[in-house]
Structures are given as structure tokens and as C-alpha cells.
Amino acid sequence: MRSIPFLATLATGAISIALPWQSIDPTSGTQLPLVIWHGLGDDFEREGLSQVAKLAESTNPGTYVHLIRLADDGSGDRSATFFGNVTEQIASVCEQLATDPILSTAPAINALGFSQGGQFLRGYIERCNSPPVHNLVTFGSQHNGISAFESCAIDNWFCKGAEQLLRSGRWSSFAQSRVVPAQYFRDPEELDLYLEHSNFLADINNEREVKNETYKRNLASLNRFAMFMFEEDTVAVPKESALFSEVNATTGEVTPLHERPIYKEDWLGLKQLDEQGKLDFNTAPGQHMQLSEKTLRKAFDRYFAPLVKESRPSAPGLVVQGGL
């Protein structure tokens, strides 16, 4: 889930993750830091992610970019995308961001999630949100889970090991505490098993009988939640999960978010965001994570532009997002 082919063509320059964050004069705007959580099979040392950071900085100069890591080196970080306890991983990221001297002192941060990194960032918002997220943008994320696991390359042993565990015992305590994709597996045909055993997704989607009001309050505090679905996605199954939709595996019928109980009963605050004009449903051309520079730059310009100071004296503070 880590193919971003355009990145090799981007112009070289100073990597933005090495630049100090610049707080711009509020009369012209304040550029919030950007946190990025990569997807399955990727790691923070990949050149592709450094290129994304460069693009974010060139689109909105002064952007400080933090690449989330779950290990001290790329190999360990990549392994953690397949094996680990997602609840523990999110807790470690909560600490990672809260102790960062730049992120923790910013008025807020923006967040960008690629593939599974998107629902993990949403989990961060619901469970911690300190520092608070202003805008959340996700590309090809599995917000409503996956009902199938991608086929692995013959030499990808991390992937093949996770695939075998997912197929043979996805609801076991072992898989639900150690196999990352199992923790956001959601087959509508096995909903009772999912609600009983899911370590991660059933919780952050507030699908169980007892609802967590903190999750709803934190997610509803976003200024903007923008989701992107890849139009030709065959890796994340179903692709419509990227927009919180549900798909009947037998008939292929798609139930959009607006027709689902999670929205109608507003378990997560999504209805509240939508009624305030803060929930965006977008599509991107191509396969899973086949991102073009044009698509990314447009998203960065729209959702991560500098904050500008509200002109009304009764509403002080940095509350308006440029580009929206």
C-alpha cells in the first residue's frame, strides 16, 4: 500500500522535516505544522515520504512536517505496519506528538493519513488529540474496515505472514493484538464476531452498545475532515470504506455514510461535522495510493493553507483556514 509513483519526479530541495517551524505573523497567516502517518509496508525513512514533505513545504512555505515513526529505524517502522497492537501504537504516537517541542507548542496541527495511517490518525484524534488536530485529510483509508486482505508479493514475508494469520484466525486474541490489518478487519457477514473481538476499529467507530462521548466530542472538534477514495482501488477492499460507506459483499450494493446508523444516530460526530459543512467526500483517480503531484498539491493548498486571524473582535484567535 505504499506506491506513490510521482514522487521520483519532484524537484529536489531542502527536506521540510529538517526545517524549523516558522510561526508567521497572524496578520498574514500562521502556518500550522503537518503530521503524516504512512500506510502498510511503508516506513518513515522512505524517500517518497521525504518528497511528500518537500511538496507540503513548497505548497505552503514554512510548514514543519513530522513523519510519525513506530521504531528508531525504517526496518522496524515497516515491520510495525504489519505486526503490533494498534491500541498501543496509537498511545505511543500520542506521547510522541505531545512531547515534540514544536508540535506541542503550536496552536494546532494538521494531519495527513495515507491508507491505514488515516484511520490511525482518526484514532489519535478520538483518544488523545493533544496537540489538537485542525484539519484531517485521509487518502484511501479504511474508515469502515476491510473485508479482504490484499495479495502479497512472493518475496514480501512481512505481508505473507500477516496474510496467513488474517485468513486463518482473524478473530483470535493473538491476531487482534498482534496483526495490524486484523484490527481493522470488518466483514458485514461476521458483524457479531467483529463487535465481540475487534481490538481497534469497532472501538474507534463507536459501534458497540456503550458509546464513548469523548470520541465523538474530539472528532467533532475538527475544522475539516476530508476523505479521498481512489476510483480504481482494488487493494483496499471495499474501496468505498475510504468514505465510510458499507458494501454488501454478495450484491455489491453500496450504503453511503448518510444512510448508515453511525451517521443517522451520530455515534462519532460525523453528522455534526457534515451539517456544519466540515465533512468532505472526495475521489482521486487511479489505483490505491497512485497519487499524482497535482492531486496532492491541490489537497495541500485547500486543506493545509495558513490560518488567518478572524477579523471580528468577538471571535479572537486563529480560526479561519485559508483556501477553504
Sorted by where each starts, the structural domains of the chain and their CATH numbers stand as 34-304 (3.40.50.1820)
Q: Which pLDDT does position 20 carry in this prediction?
A: 41
- Nearest C-alpha neighbor of 38 from the set 67, 12, 61, 16: 67
Q: How confident is the model over 231-236, as a mean pLDDT?
A: 93
Grid coordinates of 107: 496552536
Kindly indicate the confidence band of residue 305, based on its pLDDT and cuts at 50, 70 and 90. Answer: very high
Q: How confident is the model over 149-176, as a mean pLDDT?
A: 74
Kindly indicate the confidence band of residue 156, based on its pLDDT and cuts at 50, 70 and 90. Answer: low
Confidence (pTM)? 0.87
Catalytic residue among 115, 147, 198, 241: 115
- C-alpha 259/C-alpha 309 separation (Å) is 37
Q: Which pLDDT does position 141 carry in this prediction?
A: 98
115 annotated active-site = yes
288 annotated active-site = yes
Helix (H) or strand (E) holding 29: none
The average confidence (pLDDT) of the chain is 87
For residue 87, pLDDT beyond 80: yes
Per residue in 112-130, pLDDT (tens digit) is: 999 999 999 999 999 999 9
Catalytic residue among 43, 77, 203, 233: 233
Strand ranges in the chain using DSSP code E only, listed in sequence order: 34-37, 65-67, 109-114, 133-139, 224-230, 246-247, 254-255, 279-284, 307-309, 318-321
For residue 2, pLDDT beyond 90: no
Residue identified by cell 531542502 is: 14
Q: Which pLDDT does position 112 carry in this prediction?
A: 99
| Distance linking the first and last C-alpha atoms of the chain | 29
Question: Cβ atoms within 10 A of the Cβ of 171, count?
Answer: 14
- C-alpha 287/C-alpha 131 separation (Å) is 33
Catalytic residue among 66, 134, 197, 288: 288
Question: Which amino acid is present at 244?
Answer: F
The answer to whether the CB of 283 falls within 8 A of the CB of 276 is no
Per residue in 179-191, pLDDT (tens digit) is: 999 999 999 999 9
- C-alpha 319/C-alpha 128 separation (Å) is 21
Grid coordinates of 20: 524549523
